[in-house]
Amino acid sequence: MLIELEHVTKVYNQGLANEVTALREVSLRIDDNSMVCLRGASGSGKSTLLSIIGCVFQPTSGRVAIAGKQLSRLPDRFLTLHRRRYIGFIFQNFNILPALSVEENIMLPLVPLGMRPMVMREKAAVLMERFGISHRRRFPAGQISGGELQRTAIARALVNDPPLILADEPTAHLDSRLSHEFMDFMADLKAAGKTIVITSHDALVTEHKAVDRVIDIRDGRIHVS
């Protein structure tokens, strides 16, 4: 999926004493079926940029188009609908619900779609098989290992087969073996035709061979070196 940002600015708490400008006039183009890495120090605005690409919220100003479709002026509800059709999000802390089973966690994005339970289970089963967590199907997610948690998070991001995968500092809490494993999974997804955007300042990610482009961010601006 082609992603285009023009002069995107994001201001948190606008007009209040704790106003923060997280992004300033960011313009950016991410090609279809590419893997892009957003690199920058903590607080530089990576997550904010990823959230705007991921339709979590609107920019304060500027324009966002995904696959040629203008998203910047759509109301929140349409953002949600767009998000659940086109975007798979892998969160920094995975955001897995610990009380739910691995299978239930993976099926969560499908529940409000009104899909039949049989179909939902099949889709989850295929992914659990692929990521080698089938034996943990009924385990509460709070009781599985870090690697299994990561795979559960990836499976959940893929369950509605989105063309665009976003990952926010996915390796921050992983050891190098699991980080490698994660990047290999991402490389497979790119080979399968997905577009991938990852934020990270981890060399293991930024220097991976499947990464097409690294974009540096400093103080809310794209930094060209």
Name the residues that contact other proteins, by CB under 8 A: 47, 51, 56-57, 76-77, 80-81, 83-84, 89, 91-93, 95, 97, 99-100, 104, 108-117, 120, 156, 160, 168
Query: Using an 8 Å Cβ cutoff, are 4 and 29 in contact?
Result: yes
- Give the nearest distance from C-beta 167 to ligand ADP in angstroms: 12
Judged by beta carbon distances under 5 to 8 A according to partner kind, the member of Mg ion, ligand ADP, other proteins, none in contact with residue 128 is none
Query: Which residue do the tokens 């993976």 mark?
Result: 106
- Give the nearest distance from C-beta 168 to Mg ion in angstroms: 6
Q: Which of 34, 40, 71, 109 binds ligand ADP (CB under 6 A)?
A: 40
Q: Of 78 and 207, which has the nearer Cβ to other proteins? A: 78
The span of 46-54, 97-105, 132-140, 151-159 binding ligand ADP (CB under 6 A) equals 46-54
Longest dimension (CA), the chain: 52
- Give the nearest distance from C-beta 93 to other proteins in angstroms: 6
Instruction: Give me the phi and psi of 25, to 5 degrees please.
Output: 50, 50
- Give the nearest distance from C-beta 91 to Mg ion in angstroms: 10
- Give the nearest distance from C-beta 110 to other proteins in angstroms: 8
For the chain, the 3-state helix, strand and coil shares in percent, each to the nearest 5, are: 35, 25, 35
CB burial class (10 A; 0-12, 13-18, 19+) of residue 124? buried
Distance of alpha carbon 63 from alpha carbon 47, whole angstroms: 18
Query: Using an 8 Å Cβ cutoff, are 94 and 145 in contact?
Result: no
Query: Which residue do the tokens 């239930």 mark?
Result: 104
Residue 197, SS3 per DSSP? strand
Q: Of 47 and 150, which has the nearer Cβ to Mg ion? A: 47
Distance from CA of residue 161 to its chain's centroid? 13
Q: How many residues bind ligand ADP (CB under 6 A)?
A: 12
Query: Using an 8 Å Cβ cutoff, are 136 and 127 in contact?
Result: no
The span of 35-43, 79-87, 182-190, 208-216 binding ligand ADP (CB under 6 A) equals 35-43
Smallest CA-to-CA distance from 44 within 225, 218, 222 is with 218
Work out whether 58 is an interface residue with ligand ADP (CB under 6 A): no
Q: Of 155 and 165, which has the nearer Cβ to ligand ADP? A: 165
Q: Which of 47, 101, 152, 200 binds Mg ion (CB under 5 A)?
A: 47
Can you give the binding site for ligand ADP, defined by CB under 6 A?
A: 12-13, 20, 22, 40, 42-48
